[in-house]
Amino acid sequence: MNGPLEKIRVGVVGRAHGVHGAIRVFMDDAGSDSLLKAKTVFLGPKEDSFKVIHATRCGRFVALELEGIDDRDRAFELTGQEVRILRSELKPLRNAFYACDLVGLEICDENDHRWGRIDAIMPSGAHDLLRYVRPQGGVGYVPFVSAHVGKIDMDARTVQVDAQWMAELDEVYGE
């Protein structure tokens, strides 16, 4: 499974907030409070770490004050950066899982056809997409909604999808 030092994406920096260097973070899960309790965040492709001085929810975003970011210009430089936290800072769940736990699971249908292995969860406007690597090469995407995703078996490390829908999708895209 995933270790406590794994960094989990929780959102993206929107822009500066105020004049003293705070940033606006738009959360991948708008209802999540994980960023409000984080002690450290990691920003951008190099995952530069910043100590959280203060975090507060402001409507659709979370305003973050970070150590070392103390002016509006520096805050604006962070616009568009991914925001990650340590997995150990996520609230433990009972009888549930985080979407990031699906990475590495195999996508199969009810006929046990193996479509590929999930390598990323892609946030999108309406719902997340499960991106998977096909055994024959290339990638595919499955909307993470109940119409297309069925049973998730964490012990068997599989995500069941609808065989007919997957076959139709392959036909449309000529796979």
Indicate the pLDDT class of residue 175, thresholds 50, 70 and 90: low
**Quick one: pLDDT at residue 61?**
92
pLDDT of residue 40: 96
For residue 43, the Cα-to-chain-centroid distance in whole angstroms is: 14
pLDDT of amino acid 12: 93
Chain segment 1-50, per-residue pLDDT in tens: 456 678 988 899 999 998 899 999 998 877 788 899 899 999 999 999 99
Q: Which of 68, 89, 110 is the last residue of a domain?
A: 89
Q: Decide if 94 is inside a domain.
A: no
- Distance, CA of 75 to CA of 65 (rounded, Å): 10
- In terms of domains, do 80 and 117 share one? no
Q: How many CA atoms lie within 13 A of 171 on its CB side?
A: 6
Angle in degrees, CA 53, 64, 77, rounded to 5: 110
Residue 1 included in any domain: no
Q: Is residue 32 part of a domain?
A: yes
User: Structural domain tally of the chain?
Assistant: 2
Select from 24, 54, 89 the last residue of a domain.
89
The reply to whether 84 and 156 lie within a common domain is no
Same domain assignment for residues 57 and 124: no
One domain, residues 126 and 104: yes
Q: Are residues 80 and 107 in the same domain?
A: no
92 to 5, 84, 171: CA distances (angstroms) = 15, 17, 41
Structural domain range at position 151: 99-172
CA 141 vs CA 97, 111, 118, 130: distances in Å: 20, 19, 9, 5
Are residues 141 and 104 located together in one domain of the fold?
A: yes
Strands (E), 31-113: 40-43, 48-58, 61-66, 82-86, 106-109
Shared domain for 104 and 67, answered yes or no, is: no
Question: Does residue 84 share a domain with residue 12?
Answer: yes
Residues 85 and 119 in one domain: no
Query: Taking a C-beta distance cutoff of 8 angstroms, is the pair 70, 20 a contact?
Result: yes
For 75-118, the pLDDT digits (tens) are 999 999 999 999 888 887 777 788 888 999 999 999 999 999 99
Structure tokens at 67: 């150590």
pLDDT recorded at residue 173:
63
d(CA 19, CA 73): 9
